[in-house]
Structure 1
Amino acid sequence: MTGTATSDTRVRLIDAAADLIAAAPGEDFSLRAVCDAVGVKMPTLYHFFGSKQGLIDAVVERGFDLYLGEKAAMESSGDPIQDIRAGWDAHVAFGLANPGFYTLMYGKVRPGYSPAAQSRPSEILLALTTRAADQGRLVVAPEQAAAHVLVTNVGVTLRQIVLAAADPELSAAVREGTIAAITGTGAQPRNPLAAAVEIAAAHPDVLGRAETQLLVEWLTKLGEQSPAAPTA
């Protein structure tokens, strides 16, 4: 078997497993059914993946490749908080469109185990929260902010998959509550400049993306030069 044929067979096995998983999200699937779909014998599957878990890990990796491919195509607003909002919505949309992949990527829990591929989107999110922290816009550490966003985003997505119904109002409400929690804007604003930054970032369509980004930069610089606002 040539290298090209070997690669093609492996990809076809992953695709067949993904199709079976997508057809019945959350349910077990048969290795025999995967092999029958591709027209190979069980030893061939074990040659490529070693075990059923090895095949599942390959499908998870493929799911994250698809997810990150979509994220890479997204245009950054230039504002980290607004990009967290956009990333949240893209995460939910991917889960609803790909429930088979998503339930393996985030819904299969094995104590003490985290798929290696799961770290890639987490690194993107952490980069955004780190930028927000550098701008003085978080009330928690960037690592905690990233974890807060991820767990609530996953929870909202899994709930909608379980209910087999999109609920954009619920997603938006939880998203804004999460952002308010990590930025400290849910109740008493930290100071007027911080409040102005968050308002501008939340409504980039009012001034336009370039103008909003410039305004955020100006307000952030002013905040760096101003004494801290007194707390209640």
Structure 2
Amino acid sequence: MVDVEGARPREDVRTRIVAAAAQLLDEDGADAVTTRAVAQAAGVQAPTIYRLFGDKDGLVDAVAEHVMAAYVSTKTAASEAGSGDPVADLRAGWRTHVEFGLANPELYALIGAGGRGARSPATLAGIEVLRARVRRLASAGLLRVDEQRALMMIHAAGHGTVLALLAVPEADRDPGLPGAMLDAVLGRLLVGTPAVPEATTSAVTVAFATVLPDLPGLSDAERAVLGEWLGRALAGLRDPGPAEAG
């Protein structure tokens, strides 16, 4: 085996190594992604991997980022196109996420291991795509809860749904589970009349907080004070005290 690193630009060698590792991961699982196997598949010497990635964990991070970046790029393009219906767009994004997780079980498990998802730029970009979808729901007056709570509920439910399905043999999986889970979450998040702002305190407050940055005629100080008031109101709606809850 000849290490051709010196014959090609450093980035080209890095790309070939990541592609080889991704192929091994996809075809043979995480256990197959060893330094020796990747080096052989990429046509480089093992020390080249250590020079470029530091260690195996660095290589695995690069592989996860490579696959996730391609997925998030497609997801972002779909989000920007949209359908005009924020609920339908959210459902489409949910289906895409579940399908990706089920199609890439080894990668999905790797992303969740060792906190990789929390530090992955591609994963964080994917969350921002979801945040934009949630904001459209809020702007339409459709949310019962504040945007951050809605974002985390959808994100947690989607991640948990994929992990639950992956834990079951493919032949025994419930194909209706993803849709049922999303329906359960949306039942808690959305007001009763889709795509029409509903005059409930929570829906109006969430929608108002969403458009606050674009309100004309306010100074920065006034906008900050109003934002603080709305934040406190949203906190109270999220976790009402005994008097409000009663």
What's the TM-score bracket when you normalise by the shorter of the two chains? 0.7 to 0.9
Question: Secondary structure, in 3 states, of the residue corresponding to 2:115?
Answer: coil
- Of 92, 101, 104 in structure 2, the residue corresponding to residue 98 of structure 1 is 104
Q: Which runs of 5+ in 2 are unaligned?
A: 205-246
Q: Distance in 2 between matches of 1:159 and 1:27?
A: 22
Deviation at 1:93, TM superposition (A): 0.9
Measured against aligned partners, the alpha-carbon deviations of 1:41-80 in whole angstroms (never above 9, x if no partner) come to 1111112111212111111111211211331343411222
Deviation at 1:144, TM superposition (A): 1.1
Letter in 2 for 1:138: L
Larger Rg: 2
* Structure 1 partner of 2:244: none
* Structure 1 partner of 2:82: 76
8 Å contact kept, 2:101–2:162: yes
1:65 maps to 2:69:
yes
Question: Does the C-alpha gap of structure 1 residues 129 and 67 become closer, same or farther in structure 2, counting only changes over 3 Å?
Answer: same
Letter in 2 for 1:157: V
Question: Does the C-alpha gap of structure 1 residues 181 and 120 become closer, same or farther in structure 2, counting only changes over 3 Å?
Answer: same
- Of 163, 168, 181 in structure 1, the residue corresponding to residue 188 of structure 2 is 181
1:39 maps to 2:19:
no
Q: Distance in 2 between matches of 1:132 and 1:112?
A: 25
Letter in 1 for 2:89: D
Deviation at 1:5, TM superposition (A): 3.7
Instruction: After TM superposition, list the pairs within 5 Å mapping 1:3-18 onto structure 2.
Output: 5-18=9-22
Question: Does the C-alpha gap of structure 1 residues 54 and 101 become closer, same or farther in structure 2, counting only changes over 3 Å?
Answer: same
Q: Which runs of 5+ in 1 are unaligned?
A: 190-194, 198-215
Question: Secondary structure, in 3 states, of the residue corresponding to 1:108?
Answer: helix
- Of 15, 21, 26 in structure 2, the residue corresponding to residue 22 of structure 1 is 26
* Structure 2 partner of 1:131: 136
Measured against aligned partners, the alpha-carbon deviations of 1:77-110 in whole angstroms (never above 9, x if no partner) come to 12222211110000011112222322222x3143
Q: Distance in 1 between matches of 2:43 and 2:8?
A: 17
1:116 maps to 2:121:
yes
Q: Distance in 1 between matches of 2:33 and 2:116?
A: 21
* Structure 1 partner of 2:92: 86
TM-score w.r.t. the length of structure 1 is 0.73
1:146 maps to 2:146:
no
Letter in 1 for 2:125: R
TM-score w.r.t. the length of structure 2 is 0.69
Deviation at 1:112, TM superposition (A): 10
Question: Secondary structure, in 3 states, of the residue corresponding to 2:176?
Answer: helix
Q: Distance in 1 between matches of 2:57 and 2:152?
A: 26
1:49 maps to 2:53:
yes
Letter in 2 for 1:35: A
Q: Distance in 1 between matches of 2:143 and 2:151?
A: 11
Deviation at 1:123, TM superposition (A): 0.7
* Structure 2 partner of 1:212: none
Letter in 1 for 2:142: R
Measured against aligned partners, the alpha-carbon deviations of 1:116-140 in whole angstroms (never above 9, x if no partner) come to 3321011111111122112221111
